[in-house]
Amino acid sequence: MYIPREGDRERYNQHLEQLRTLDDDELWLRYESALDLGIVGSHAQNIYLFALWKRGRERALRFATELSGGIQIEYGRIISIEPLA
pLDDT surpasses 80 at 2: no
| Domain-embedded: residue 70 | yes
Cα(54)–Cα(48) distance, integer angstroms? 10
CA atoms within 13 A on the CB side of 4: 7
Please write the tens of the pLDDT for every residue from 28-73.
999 999 999 988 888 999 999 999 999 999 999 999 999 989 999 9
Secondary structure of residue 79 in the 3-state scheme: strand
| pLDDT band per the 50, 70, 90 thresholds, residue 79 | confident
Cα(10)–Cα(75) distance, integer angstroms? 21
pLDDT surpasses 80 at 1: no
Tally the domains of the chain.
1
pLDDT surpasses 90 at 77: no
- Strand pairing partners for 77? 74
Domain region containing 48: 8-82
| Domain-embedded: residue 1 | no
